[in-house]
Structure 1
Amino acid sequence: MIPSPTLPWFELARFRRSRLTRAAVVAVMLVPLFYGAMYVWANLDPTGRLDHVRAAVVNHDQMVEVTGTDGAAQPVAVGRQLAGNLVSNDADDNYDWVLTDAKDAQRGLADGDYKAVLTIPENLSAAATSTSGDPTAAVQGQLDLQTNDAVNYINGTIAKTILQAAKGALNAQVTETYLDNVYLSFSDIKTSLSDAADGASDLADGADRLSSGASDLADGATTLADGAGALADGAGTLADGNRQLADGATELDSGAKKLSRGLSQLESSTLTLPRDTRRLADGSRQVADGTAQVDRTVQAFTQGILDATGTADADIDRLATTLRTLADQCRADGAPAGVDCGAIEDAAARAGDLKTFVRDVRGQATSAGQQTRQLADGAAQVADGNAKLARNVPALVGAIGQASDGADRLTDGTSQLREGAVAAAAGAGRLVGGADQLADGSRKLADGGDQLVDGADQLSAGALELSNGLNDGSDKVPDYSTSERDQLAKTAATPIEDAADRVNPVENYGAALAPYFVSLALWVGAMAIYLLLRPLSARAIASTTGSVRVALAGYAPGLALSVVQVVLLLVVLQGVLGVQPADEPLLVGIALATGAVFTAINQMFVALFGGAGRFAALVFVSLQLTSAGGTYPIETAPPFFNVLHDLLPMTYTVHGLRAALAGGSDGVVRDFLVLGLFTALALGVTVIAARRRQTVTVARLHPTLQV
């Protein structure tokens, strides 16, 4: 049953004829390598290279200010914070975000320069802080993410995932800040309750003091009532005195008005007095100067007279002696003719009269000098007095004016005094009535004081109870430290964290899709094998060889090429692309089993349908690719593909390769059994096709369709 080595060798030996045929064999062996390696390489880690994808952020958010717990205004710019977090995040799984304006963002989204555009509204900060005020004013912020499915559909899902992560972090941060303030308010509440308890205790003490004071108040009110009666009597006496004061004030007001009018007239009369006294002082000074000049002249003249008459007596005596001597000589010698000696003697006798005259002249000169001296001194004193008068008169006139003004004010004051006295008299009358009311009110106050004592006692008991209750409440309110607030805020903001634990994890996206791509590559490789090789050897069909040997003879060279394809593909995946399996032997085994079953199936299609079998292989692989669950879980596909999922071999090749690459051996034995079963079925159909080919018919000689 096993074909002799010569039959498979004959099929491969025909490709030794030229370099082109040998190159064709090599190319067929490399086909799965190109498919599998290129697909895995292209999808090796797409989410790890998102930093090469440009996206735009348009920030319209307006900064707001909120009042902190310390009462100070704090700026809040949530949009700026979100944009900054996106732009500054250089992680490989984040877009290359660019901060720009709306016009550039829309242009870039349309032409594919930006794969996503995130628009932050102008009210984002206001919305984020709206929970701290009126509850009815609280709103949610709305982020606008735009992607262009005409550029790439999957990108929209990726962008949404990135935005959800950024939004979740931002929401957690905003919530954490809000909760930190809430927990901080617990400490404030505890402090306030403690303060309120202390205040209630103080209130109880104050109520006790109030009770004591109220008792004193009641006693004082009784005393006040007695005093109010005495006040009423005194108020009557005061009213009589105020009426007398009003009468006196009226007379005083009349006198003050007369004084004011007199001073006003005096002020008018003395308006020119300063000028007149100045003129008088100037005139007196001129008189004093003239009198002094006259005095000096008289004194000089008097002195001249005195000097001239100082020796007059002696001279007159000598003159008298001389005259008497002449008279005697005249008589003795005889008088000359015409000379009267008696006349000379008379002249000598009259010398005494002359001395009297001279003395009178000197006396008069001395008297005149004294009088002019007294006149000059008096004129100087008058001039000095007038000058002093001139200097003092303005002050006198000013004083008169001030007195006049004071009299006017006195008149106003006396008028007010008169009116006030009248009002005081009326008020004193009302005071009598008020004193009576005060007496009544004091008695009521005494009664109220007694009631206040009772109320103060009740207040003291209630305040003490309130203090105890507030202390109990304060003990129940937590007081968190800064570290405790941070921990609680973080926990409450994100109460559930991701704890995703991948069982049998793979390194990256390419490794996750490698089972799907390897299966596709080996299927394409098997199709390429039977594009080059014949599924059934013409030599074997023409001979008397059995159909089983013929089928195996066509399968063996294809299987050999498939093994080479598997080896090349696995070497490149692990050595070049770095896809490391969890179970190397299992990977080799399942890959060889995959190559074997796909080679058998492709041989079957071509052997059974000829050239049309290659078209059938294309249809069959499309059904396998869509139902194998190589990308999304098969449960997400329509029911038709769920039905095909368990019926087609690629489902088991993908499952087995996943187990080898990621780990986990559940179902691997089933995979080998199912693949072996498909291989056996395909070879069985190929045996039937070989038997049919060994029978010559008209349809074989003249086929309807030649591919």
Structure 2
Amino acid sequence: MTTTSLVRAELARLTATPLARLAFIALMCVPLLYGGAYLWANRDPYAKLDQVPAAIVDQDAGATLDGDRVDYGKDVAKEAIDGGDFKWTETSAADARSGVRNGTYDFVVTIPHDFSAALVSAQSDDPRRAKLTVTTADTNSYLASTIAEQAGKTMRTAVAERVGKQAAKSLLVGLADVRDSLGDAVDGAGQLASGATSAKDGADRLADGTGQLSSGASELAAGTEDLPSQTAQLDSGAQQVATGASKLASGLSDAQRQTAALPSQTKQLDTGAKQLQSGLHQLRDASAALPSGTSTLSEGATAVADGNAKLADDAAPFLASVQQLAAQSPALASQLEPVVEASTVLDADQKAQLVAALEQLRTSSTTLGTGASAVSTGIEDLKTGSAKVAAGASDLAAKAPALTSGIQQASDGSDRLAAGTSTLAAKAPELSSGIASAADGASTLSNGASQVAAGTSKLAAAAPTLSSGASRLATGAASADDGAKSLASGLTKLESGSTKLADELDEGRTKIPSSTASSREAQASVISDPVKVGDDNVASAGNYGAGLAPFFISLAAWIGMYALFLILKPISKRAITAVRKPLRVVLGGWLTPALLGVVQMVALFLIVRFALDLNVVQAGPTIGIMVLASATFAAIIMALNVLLGSVGQFLGLVLMLVQLVTAGGTFPWQTLPGPLAALHFALPMTYSVDAIRQTMYGGSAATAWSDTGILLCWLLGALLVSYVVTARQTRSRTLRDLRPSLIG
């Protein structure tokens, strides 16, 4: 007997009678009914939440915001009803509460009377949170209560977004106004900094000036400390100047009288000098006849020497007086000129006249002194020459060359004498006039000196007051200097601070972004709802039914195998006795439910994909894993039956229940208690659920292959257990093997 014949024989047994065929068909449909009906009922429940009855109670009294009337409760109620997420009914509080109790409404959302007032309180001194009350009753549906909580959170988020957007918009408008105001503040701070800079420069100059003032005032105080004694000395000196000026005026008057006859005398002197010059020229011309006129020349020379000596003696006192007058006049003019300039009693014209007279006196005296010196030199030369002529007249015959030389010297001296006397004659009128002007100026100077003396007496009397005032000025100037330095220091800090203020204000202004009405609208939207949850599902189920499909497909495969083994024999006892080939017997016993499982899984896949229209990304791999899971479950249940008989069949039911809670088909396996979480990794349905998810949703192929490998291990392990037990039975039987099954 072959494996194929064993399969045909078992199928023939199942369809031998009409009742057997009916039972066979019914059991084949069990997994289809279980999986298809459950997935149909839970295909997409969230799409029909608009059929869930809910009530909304609006008790909001409204509020005032920025002078405008707002009623957020009314807006929330309207948005909820218009949204149509649930079957909303707006009603009273009493009707809503009774409706929740009797099942008319699954839940109620109540908006309290102070809802708007609480929302706008964020801008007041007493901010508080607004409140939405969700009333539920788990007697209606626990999931309805859970959904109600989510609905309340959704409404809260919507309200928070609206209020946050309005608050953010107000904030952004305020920031825009602040930015504009900061621009004006920056300009003002810049002007302040510029003014502070100018003020600082002025304060620095003021400090420098007050420093100089303080120094000068100190020097003035130190200088005027001795002013009283100095002015006393000045008064004494002025008195002496006045006396000296009187004496000068008197002396100049005498000099004027003495020099009155000077022009005529100098003219006579000039005439005599010219005559002498002419005579010497004639003498020089006549020296050619010197040898013949030696005696005559000797007598004439003696006479000339006597005359020249007398002339020198007569002119010496006069020339000495002239030179003394010329020497004293510039010094006297120099002494008088500062006095005239410093006089406070003379007017400008008088000072100018006196200064001009003194200058003329100085110039005339210089010229007079020069002329007198020239005359004196000429006379001396003439006297010397004539003496030489007289001395050498006796020796003239023997010393003619020497006499000629002496005559030449005498001639030269007479030339200088003539020049000097001419200059003296020319300057004598000017000297006389200058002395006269000096006499007049000296008289005026005497009068002015008297007035200066009177002024210096008053100055000496006022000097103590001036000295005291200078001391007070020095003290005040020092205080002013300290104040100016403090002002300069303060203005330096003001300049630095105002510059820093301008910079900081400008930096702060740049940190506030410029905005327009449209950009503020967009910014307010982002601020009120800053986080958007993006949908980046790398493997999407599509809906709630598709999310549960892998779990219920795996569960249907187990139930289908469990139901089939109610009518299928795990192994043929006759085959064990007749064939005595355990591998063939085991494969024949396993292939029958495995083939029937293929039919079940293909039919279930068609229902899931086309009847329920659930999305399947990889149809072929999904069918393959469904078939593999069914064949694996068939091998496990067969092994339990072969090993334990009817007890093993019961354990198959227990194992299904354990896997129902450990496979992680509804909630994540991480939420399981510790022992059940350990079983999650040990049992096969975990891997069938995970593998179907990967292929159905388009997940990881590597994970699907890993899950497939584990299912194959379970399949081979279960077949190995069946083979070991069957092999033992082919060799010997026990009383337990012959004991009838509890199930039949």
- TM class, shorter-chain normalised? 0.5 to 0.7
Alignment partner of 1:667 is 2:703 = yes
Per the alignment, residue 679 of structure 1 pairs with 715
Alignment partner of 1:592 is 2:634 = no
Per the alignment, residue 573 of structure 2 pairs with 538
The within-5 A match list for 1:280-299 is none
What CA deviation, in whole Å up to 9, does each residue of 1:350-369 have, x standing for no partner? xxxxxxxxxxxxxxxxxxxx
Alignment partner of 1:102 is 2:137 = no
What's the offset of the Cα at 1:465?
Answer: 6.5
Alignment partner of 1:78 is 2:72 = yes
Distance in 1 (CA, whole Å) between partners of 2:59 and 2:541 is 42
| Cα 1:3–1:667 shift into 2, 3 Å | farther
SS in 1 for 2:89: strand
What's the offset of the Cα at 1:529?
Answer: 0.8
| Cα 1:472–1:527 shift into 2, 3 Å | closer
Which residue identity lines up with residue 673 of structure 1 in the other structure? G
Aligned counterpart for 1:159 among listed residues 141, 148, 169: 148
Distance in 2 (CA, whole Å) between partners of 1:107 and 1:677 is 59
What's the offset of the Cα at 1:585?
Answer: 1.7
What's the offset of the Cα at 1:635?
Answer: 0.8
Contact 2:182–2:506 (8 Å) recurs in 1: no
Contact 1:176–1:489 (8 Å) recurs in 2: yes
TM-score in terms of structure 2 length: 0.56
What's the offset of the Cα at 1:36?
Answer: 1.2
Per the alignment, residue 397 of structure 2 pairs with none
The within-5 A match list for 1:543-562 is 543-562=578-597
What CA deviation, in whole Å up to 9, does each residue of 1:627-660 have, x standing for no partner? 1111111111111121111111001100110011
Distance in 1 (CA, whole Å) between partners of 2:594 and 2:96 is 56
Distance in 2 (CA, whole Å) between partners of 1:170 and 1:99 is 18
Contact 2:186–2:506 (8 Å) recurs in 1: no
SS in 2 for 1:25: helix
Alignment partner of 1:178 is 2:178 = no
SS in 2 for 1:65: strand
Distance in 2 (CA, whole Å) between partners of 1:203 and 1:678 is 88
Contact 1:606–1:614 (8 Å) recurs in 2: yes
Per the alignment, residue 568 of structure 1 pairs with 603
Distance in 2 (CA, whole Å) between partners of 1:485 and 1:38 is 54
Per the alignment, residue 35 of structure 1 pairs with 34
| Cα 1:556–1:139 shift into 2, 3 Å | same
Alignment partner of 1:148 is 2:185 = no
Name structure 2 gaps, 5 residues minimum.
194-486
What CA deviation, in whole Å up to 9, does each residue of 1:245-289 have, x standing for no partner? xxxxxxxxxxxxxxxxxxxxxxxxxxxxxxxxxxxxxxxxxxxxx
Per the alignment, residue 112 of structure 1 pairs with 103
Alignment partner of 1:128 is 2:119 = yes
What CA deviation, in whole Å up to 9, does each residue of 1:60-97 have, x standing for no partner? 22111122xxxxx211111222221211113xxx3222
Distance in 1 (CA, whole Å) between partners of 2:129 and 2:36 is 48
What CA deviation, in whole Å up to 9, does each residue of 1:564-620 have, x standing for no partner? 101100111111111231112211110110110011112222222222222211110
Alignment partner of 1:139 is 2:174 = no
Alignment partner of 1:480 is 2:480 = no
SS in 2 for 1:129: helix
Per the alignment, residue 23 of structure 1 pairs with 22
SS in 2 for 1:667: helix
The within-5 A match list for 1:452-467 is none
| Cα 1:539–1:474 shift into 2, 3 Å | closer
Contact 2:663–2:685 (8 Å) recurs in 1: yes
Which residue identity lines up with residue 671 of structure 1 in the other structure? D
Distance in 1 (CA, whole Å) between partners of 2:128 and 2:64 is 17
Distance in 2 (CA, whole Å) between partners of 1:689 and 1:471 is 92
Per the alignment, residue 213 of structure 2 pairs with none
Contact 2:3–2:587 (8 Å) recurs in 1: no
Per the alignment, residue 490 of structure 1 pairs with 525
User: Identity over the aligned pairs, expressed in percent?
Assistant: 34
| Cα 1:644–1:165 shift into 2, 3 Å | same
Per the alignment, residue 88 of structure 1 pairs with 82
The within-5 A match list for 1:258-407 is none
Contact 2:550–2:665 (8 Å) recurs in 1: yes
Distance in 2 (CA, whole Å) between partners of 1:641 and 1:500 is 32
Alignment partner of 1:640 is 2:675 = yes
Which residue identity lines up with residue 182 of structure 1 in the other structure? L
| Cα 1:535–1:705 shift into 2, 3 Å | closer
What CA deviation, in whole Å up to 9, does each residue of 1:378-417 have, x standing for no partner? xxxxxxxxxxxxxxxxxxxxxxxxxxxxxxxxxxxxxxxx
Which residue identity lines up with residue 154 of structure 1 in the other structure? L
Contact 1:184–1:485 (8 Å) recurs in 2: yes
Contact 2:55–2:89 (8 Å) recurs in 1: yes
What's the offset of the Cα at 1:201?
Answer: 11
SS in 1 for 2:666: coil
SS in 1 for 2:515: coil
Distance in 2 (CA, whole Å) between partners of 1:584 and 1:596 is 18
Distance in 1 (CA, whole Å) between partners of 2:743 and 2:506 is 99
| Cα 1:573–1:666 shift into 2, 3 Å | same
Distance in 2 (CA, whole Å) between partners of 1:617 and 1:656 is 22
| Cα 1:4–1:468 shift into 2, 3 Å | closer
Name structure 1 gaps, 5 residues minimum.
68-72, 205-454
| Cα 1:687–1:478 shift into 2, 3 Å | closer
Distance in 2 (CA, whole Å) between partners of 1:666 and 1:201 is 70
SS in 2 for 1:666: helix
Distance in 2 (CA, whole Å) between partners of 1:150 and 1:62 is 32
Which residue identity lines up with residue 537 of structure 2 in the other structure? R
Contact 1:12–1:557 (8 Å) recurs in 2: yes
SS in 1 for 2:7: helix
| Cα 1:607–1:478 shift into 2, 3 Å | closer
SS in 1 for 2:702: coil
Per the alignment, residue 418 of structure 1 pairs with none
SS in 1 for 2:64: strand
What's the offset of the Cα at 1:690?
Answer: 3.0
Per the alignment, residue 10 of structure 1 pairs with 9
TM-score in terms of structure 1 length: 0.58
SS in 2 for 1:502: coil
What's the offset of the Cα at 1:184?
Answer: 1.0
Aligned counterpart for 2:157 among listed residues 150, 160, 168: 168
Which residue identity lines up with residue 158 of structure 2 in the other structure? A
Contact 1:196–1:470 (8 Å) recurs in 2: no
Which residue identity lines up with residue 681 of structure 1 in the other structure? G
Distance in 1 (CA, whole Å) between partners of 2:123 and 2:58 is 23
Per the alignment, residue 232 of structure 1 pairs with none
What's the offset of the Cα at 1:661?
Answer: 0.5
Which residue identity lines up with residue 60 of structure 1 in the other structure? Q
What's the offset of the Cα at 1:486?
Answer: 0.6
| Cα 1:472–1:594 shift into 2, 3 Å | closer
Per the alignment, residue 551 of structure 2 pairs with 516
SS in 2 for 1:5: helix
Q: Which moved more, 1:642-651 or 1:143-152?
A: 143-152
Contact 1:193–1:473 (8 Å) recurs in 2: no
What CA deviation, in whole Å up to 9, does each residue of 1:73-122 have, x standing for no partner? 211111222221211113xxx32222122222222222333222222222
SS in 1 for 2:3: coil
- Aligned residue pairs total 446
| Cα 1:75–1:676 shift into 2, 3 Å | same
Q: Which moved more, 1:685-694 or 1:642-651?
A: 685-694
What's the offset of the Cα at 1:546?
Answer: 2.0
Contact 1:30–1:568 (8 Å) recurs in 2: no
Per the alignment, residue 399 of structure 1 pairs with none
What's the offset of the Cα at 1:161?
Answer: 2.2
SS in 1 for 2:539: coil
Contact 2:645–2:741 (8 Å) recurs in 1: no
Contact 1:3–1:552 (8 Å) recurs in 2: no
Per the alignment, residue 432 of structure 2 pairs with none
